[in-house]
Amino acid sequence: MSLDAFLSYLSLEKNYSSHTLSAYKRDLEDFTAYHEEAFLTPDIDKTDYGSIRSWIVELVGKGLKNQSVNRKVASLKAYYNFLVKIGEIKTSPLKKHKALKTEKKMGVPFSELEMQQVLVQIPFENDFEGIRDKLIIELLYATGMRRAELVNIRMQDVDLHQSTLRVIGKRNKERILPMLASIVESINTYMIERNKLESVENNEYLFLTPPGHKIYETLVYRVINKYLSMVSPKVKKSPHVLRHTFATHLLNKGADLNAVKELLGHSSLASTQVYTHNSIAELKKAHLKAHPRNKK
């Protein structure tokens, strides 16, 4: 009963996606199954930290990465915080838990040359899909938005006169992004082809498939992977790497960290600072090249 109430709370009050809800449900069901096998009861509402700790040890022993273990424990932590909130328990058993250490691995960003090549030299087809795919790449690189944010852009979110774009990010947070003149031009070109579609089922969304349906996240990944593979030997080619590229290139050009934070939709500066290591590398190269004390 508590699990159903928790999932309803995440859906109705937190506006979590169905994908996120499924992940929470799966993590809690996994712990419940472990708890029943190890302690002969499926009731996890009043368990203690020792029981959760033994589950963590088992997960690590099975070879699960620390990052994955932390995500599962985060699901439990949210559940117990919910139980505290509704008065089912007084204190969360995970109140003093410290997450396992993880290495923050970022995909190597694309270079400015690679982005120039994919947007200028690649011969995109001059049809609906070709024009749409190029706009997807342009928009992700020019704004740094998340893949889910791009998929859910509605027609009413696009203001071509003001050159701005409204996106809804994590936790249903709204932000307004500026658009370059080239992006406005590309949207206008795309709209000409979009208006030619015979069947437009979800016409409130900006990006559609040829049959007129709303695009989906896997399609966006395929687009990025397909075209960036033509110009880049990098192993990881994804929408998130393009987001990383956006932030890195802005910081390399001297953009303010707080401004980049706002553009990315991060809630804290710490989330944005992970993008600075490449910027620092560029600063070091510039310093070594220009400083008079550097021995040639």
pLDDT digits (tens, 9 = 90+) for 212-234: 999 999 999 999 999 999 999 98
Q: Mean of the pLDDT values across residues 155-171?
A: 94
Tell me the pLDDT band of 18, cut-offs 50, 70 and 90: confident
Catalytic status, residue 240 = yes
Q: What is residue 62's predicted lDDT score, i.e. its pLDDT?
A: 93
DSSP secondary structure code for residue 157 in this structure: G
Whether 40 has a pLDDT exceeding 80, the answer reads yes
Is-catalytic flag, 275? yes
List the single range of 24-33, 97-106, 222-231 with lowest mean pLDDT: 97-106
DSSP letter for each residue of 172-227: G-EEEEE--HHHHHHHHHHHHHHTT-S--TTTTBS-B-TTSPBP-HHHHHHHHHHH
Highest mean pLDDT among 132-146, 195-209, 246-260, 275-289: 132-146
287 is a catalytic site residue = no
Better pLDDT: 200 or 152: 152
pLDDT score recorded for residue 290: 58
Rounded Cα distance between 199 and 196, Å, is: 9
pTM of the prediction? 0.64
Which candidate in 154, 170, 175, 236 is catalytic?
170
Tell me, what's the pLDDT at 59? 95
Active-site residue, from 72, 194, 243, 249: 243
> What pLDDT, on a 0 to 100 scale, did the predictor assign at position 176?
94
For position 281, what pLDDT does the model report? 59
Closest CA to 4 of 66, 64, 86, 62: 86
**DSSP H helices in the chain:** 2-12, 18-39, 49-61, 66-85, 112-116, 128-143, 147-151, 181-194, 217-228, 239-252, 257-264, 269-273, 276-290
**Annotated catalytic, 98?**
no
Give the Å distances, CA to CA, from 25 to 18, 31, 52, 60, 168.
Answer: 10, 10, 17, 20, 24
Helices 18-39 & 49-61 angle (0-180, nearest 10):
100
Measure the CA angle with vertex 290, ends 288 and 296; round to 5°.
Answer: 65
> Where residue 285 falls among pLDDT bands split at 50, 70, 90?
low
- Average pLDDT over every residue of 286-290: 59
Is residue 266 among the annotated active site residues?
Answer: yes
As a whole number, mean pLDDT of residues 32-56 equals 93
pLDDT above 70: percentage of residues in the chain? 90
Catalytic annotation, pick one of 77, 132, 134, 146? 146
Residue 101 is among the residues annotated as catalytic for this protein: no
